[in-house]
Structure 1
């Protein structure tokens, strides 16, 4: 199941780069022989039950309310600052460190995997500071999943930060693993 969000402050309109990210995930699932169902974050409520869920998009501006719910319920050590005119607009805060959103220059995406107590299958959360960061994270993981998996303490539950640099030159393709933030992300204050 793929849960897709809307553009910031535009309900029921999905960003083109999020559609591309959805296509990447759907293609991978199809190659593995899985049926793919898509849901709107504005409409879907409930557990993922026995379905693996890919939830794509950040919660700011009401873009993906399900992501906001997942962050609150399962990743309490992550904060996303609101959009503003200042340099900390849409910054991620993890373990006291701020990861700034520099549109079209440098951006970040969080990728987490966890299984809620009400489900038997995991949720993969892809929460970028923009739709480009979402697309970059999925593209990066598609190409580097084996190396990333080897670097993790557990592939059953994790949260990593993907950094997208040199966007003006390389677009979504210049992504790299910034760091594993699992300990901080799942920690309760």
Structure 2
């Protein structure tokens, strides 16, 4: 069987077209035959074995062609692959490697952009929180100032049993910047807005 395989490989390698048939990939070849398939010398095959580029031959001294070619393609610069039967594969490997490099670079760029976007997102959120706190502080300051200026009115509202309603209106106008007319239209005054016992709720003296 070994002689038959070797004879088949020799006949194929001696083809006048010199175009190595890919059916040889299913055979077991010696160093010279494998070198002819790869477009290199037998000595180059031996050197490739020593470098670990391809696995050493089996106990019978023959290489498994399919495995040897796969390892050669994976561990050799595609630009150095010379056999015509292997050039399409080499070109494909080159294209795939370039594609992988491009995708890797693109992925790195996307990661950088995502990191920047997250950083700006955190800054925007912090700025929004600061603006909200600042606005609340301004509203509170405005309300306190109005309460001090209109303190006598608070006394009158307490005496009339309307202190709670008066405070609600003051908060609506001074804190939330709502017009008094709108507030009164949305929330008409009723008995629930009056203080049941002005003396019990007195806090203004």
Range into which the TM-score falls when normalised by the shorter chain: under 0.3
The structure with the larger Rg is 2
TM-score normalized by the length of structure 1: 0.24
TM-score normalized by the length of structure 2: 0.22
